[in-house]
Structure 1
């Protein structure tokens, strides 16, 4: 027991709501250390509703994005607890920390883009499902990427993809690494001839709107679990087995079977009322249709903000009971959680002489991360893959849906026009065209 008490002093101070001792320990302790249940001091402060501890930990830059043993970050726990001001504090801090991390990486990213050659790259996306008949209605897309210096242009027809809703169109993402950060990333709707700047800072009203949405919807955590992933050479032939090799476009590739790739989706709704549950479906439909109208109710043109929930029943576990428990004890509001997991058997084709490296691809994908399916591709490529470049991969998008990404064409080009990376003069700005970006 003495071991546990000495190992997690910040957590014990938070648990006991000892502000003075916590303040003293923060000078020398690792603020983001996890206890045996995976909780940081900030997790515990939020779940127990100890507001002074929360303020103190955030003032010392405790990380908001870190997950505990059950896969939830402090913001998720704050939404469950239901105190609006705490949710607002954590959301602001999360955005600030994300921007700081992006700013840290930006100079290296720009330098990496400038050092690699200028090129044209073509990707094909094929969405598939194991559910009968569903694959017939799923979209496909040819995506074209141009890169010149620190500039990138991505042309795609798949605007958004959420559950079984998707929006088709003709859009371009344009990034200019030489521009000021606030003016570096735009998304263009080439049919409507409008563009939207992807901003790095929201207004107070927009953050308050986001809090309303968080408080009135399911808390969702989605991830690809790779804890037990395996890669084995795919085999071909019936009587005489041999390692499978094929051409993917013009590239010779070795195929590997992926085992143990698990898509995990978790939803919590203990903070929602019956009325919320009824409204939730309509709200999500509005979001997936890309409506630019306000999702917040108004009265006399003033938004009606969602109020805090009554606090959950006070936790009666002692610190010793908590830290010595063999499983993660429940703290906070009684859980209403639904877990969905599916193990995928997929393939990846690796090419040993593809002109682009995985590191270069990751740099390019980081620029277009606001587009959801590109973010999934980046997450997959970041895994420890077999040697070579992944010219064809299967990626879980949803528990019932995967996408197959094929690198169909690549060539270095020295004569790309600067016009490709500029917003046409006849386009007008529409800040609400893509509300999720």
Structure 2
């Protein structure tokens, strides 16, 4: 690799030292930085605030990007093939996930240039760094949750279609039931995932204990996954801060090098809110549960998938073949749909192909876009960036819905990543990165939330006509590939619909930290969180969101219930008279009176299917079941792999 002109980096000491290959000068720069405290020493909110200020001071030196190509010093070390400088920067806490002008992180650059020594340096450090970041932010998260009101809330999501009446039979749906009390958070759900429209139901609970369990057996900040079917409990963050062995690092890098790189994202920097109008030209209002909301369309939202070829990586055919080999369930709908319904579904999915021309709903906006944004120019990600996947395949043209229906590269790449990852603690998005809110693709959200302009009703027609002309002009640019380049990018315009209410009890700023915790394990919540990072009009909350996945199908996320919980100490006094008590025949349990007081909303859930029949028996939503067995992420992964192997043998024997 040819050298670079160090004089171009004179204003940044860290860049200049790396460009000049002056390791002694780089050491002096790093030694002058404030020292980090040990994670276990950060216990109070004041400690957290002070440590965050220290981290920002360090980042201002070693993560600067005000240089040509918007490269960090770590990017420059990778470009110059300097593992010594990379090791020094990572040991000092460099943010490996920051993107350069082309939208790639330092780790991705190392993988694409086959610099495995540099990739190993970054992989060796990135999980302990993410864990340290989470530990220094945990006291602030706990304190913020403690200041919030306690509540019970329900969030439902399902798919609907104006032309496919049977969509509810094949698309996933669920109601998430969320409790928040003090610094504890619990979410019950029945949808574990979906595999080619095959819904994987799992009666499970996500339990975040901000201050740990009362008996002290569960440490503060634990994120527990409770599987009620198998009666197992797992601390999802167990071992997250443990350094990986050399063999594990090598296996991780080798797995990354097997597939191409992709970077999915959603750009809301040009977003506009247009109020929907009635036939009387008045702003449309609708009731969403108990809340009155105005209906808005969000224009100029662009989803993109940018891909980059990794030399020596498997081809598309090999990639999808390896994914299919790891599937447990088939993708057929023979037991769900008739032949006519299958044709109808396929026709709907084809409507989202760029070759189909689309419709105005696509709202394609092919303006210039960058991957590293300043406060006025910021991209909000929809998925964690993974060093896997091939953006060149034709499957990416079907949008999000094809991730479940046609095995798009995004969903497949996640399967390969989890299959190839040798150790859960190395797989960043399975552990800490979503909790610290600076995973590889959303690091650019730090400057602040992007404000969305609200357009007056009188301007609606003019803007729609302008957008229609822009769509016609730019529709053919949906899928772009640089001639002679190993990169390609597919863009697709979205037009979400939002129901904004001024009466919802929570503010978006209060809800986001809670969604950040749940989004680590729930993709539906992750997509909702990403949209809410857009700064909406003051005093409003999106009680309902509709996101198009293809022109005729959209996913609806609705906040259907919110009830404030009373403090626990108000329930210590028994009723003064037993005359109002119910007979045993209609009591949900022997202690139904206190359950009704502590959770009156549970009466409305008693007839719902799934785990809700168990919810009404919960006295303490945050208690760890005593008859459940603790397991570890490694044991869970091993058990899952064994089940896959048994399934393969069963299919081959048949």
TM (norm. structure 1) is 0.79
Are residue 424 (structure 1) and residue 609 (structure 2) matched? no
After superposition, the Cα gap between the structure-2 partners of 1:47 and 1:128, relative to the gap in structure 1 and judged at 3 Å, is farther
Q: Which residue of 2 aligns with 1:360?
A: 510
Judge conservation of contact 2:202–2:229 (CA < 8 Å) in 1.
Answer: yes
Cα distance in 2 for residues equivalent to 1:198 and 1:399: 37
Larger fraction in helix: 2
Q: Which residue of 2 aligns with 1:413?
A: 565
Cα distance in 1 for residues equivalent to 2:162 and 2:209: 40
Moved more, 75-84 or 14-23: 14-23
Q: Which residue of 1 aligns with 2:337?
A: none
Q: Which residue of 2 aligns with 1:336?
A: 486
Q: Which residue of 1 aligns with 2:18?
A: 14
For residues 94-243 of structure 1, the aligned pairs below 5 Å read: 94-127=126-159, 135=167, 137-160=170-193, 167-179=200-212, 181=219, 184-202=222-240, 204=244, 208-237=250-279, 240-243=280-283
- Measure how far apart 1:201 and its partner are: 2.9
Moved more, 161-170 or 67-76: 161-170
Are residue 345 (structure 1) and residue 495 (structure 2) matched? yes
Deviations for 1:236-259, whole angstroms, at most 9, x for unmatched residues?
Answer: 22xx21111110111011122101
After superposition, the Cα gap between the structure-2 partners of 1:207 and 1:405, relative to the gap in structure 1 and judged at 3 Å, is farther
- Measure how far apart 1:410 and its partner are: 0.7
For residues 300-311 of structure 1, the aligned pairs below 5 Å read: none
Larger fraction in strand: 1
After superposition, the Cα gap between the structure-2 partners of 1:380 and 1:92, relative to the gap in structure 1 and judged at 3 Å, is farther
Q: Tell me, which stretches of 5 or more residues in structure 1 are unaligned?
A: 299-333
- Measure how far apart 1:285 and its partner are: 4.6
* Partner SS, residue 68 of structure 2: coil
Are residue 64 (structure 1) and residue 214 (structure 2) matched? no
Q: Which has the higher contact order (CA 8 A, sep 6+)?
A: 1
Q: Which residue of 1 aligns with 2:305?
A: 265
Number of aligned residues: 397
- Measure how far apart 1:126 and its partner are: 1.9
Cα distance in 2 for residues equivalent to 1:378 and 1:177: 20
Q: Which residue of 2 aligns with 1:382?
A: 533
* Partner SS, residue 64 of structure 2: coil
Judge conservation of contact 1:341–1:399 (CA < 8 Å) in 2.
Answer: no
After superposition, the Cα gap between the structure-2 partners of 1:64 and 1:412, relative to the gap in structure 1 and judged at 3 Å, is same
Q: Tell me, which stretches of 5 or more residues in structure 2 are unaligned?
A: 34-59, 213-217, 329-413, 423-483, 567-597, 600-617, 641-654
Deviations for 1:215-250, whole angstroms, at most 9, x for unmatched residues?
Answer: 22232212211121111222222xx21111110111
Cα distance in 2 for residues equivalent to 1:153 and 1:266: 35
Cα distance in 2 for residues equivalent to 1:350 and 1:173: 28
Cα distance in 2 for residues equivalent to 1:399 and 1:266: 22
Judge conservation of contact 1:183–1:197 (CA < 8 Å) in 2.
Answer: no
Cα distance in 2 for residues equivalent to 1:211 and 1:400: 41
Q: Which residue of 2 aligns with 1:51?
A: 83
* Partner SS, residue 301 of structure 2: strand
- Measure how far apart 1:61 and its partner are: 2.1
For residues 73-112 of structure 1, the aligned pairs below 5 Å read: 73-112=105-144
Cα distance in 2 for residues equivalent to 1:236 and 1:425: 56
Q: Which residue of 2 aligns with 1:317?
A: none
* Partner SS, residue 30 of structure 1: helix
Cα distance in 1 for residues equivalent to 2:227 and 2:179: 17
TM (norm. structure 2) is 0.54
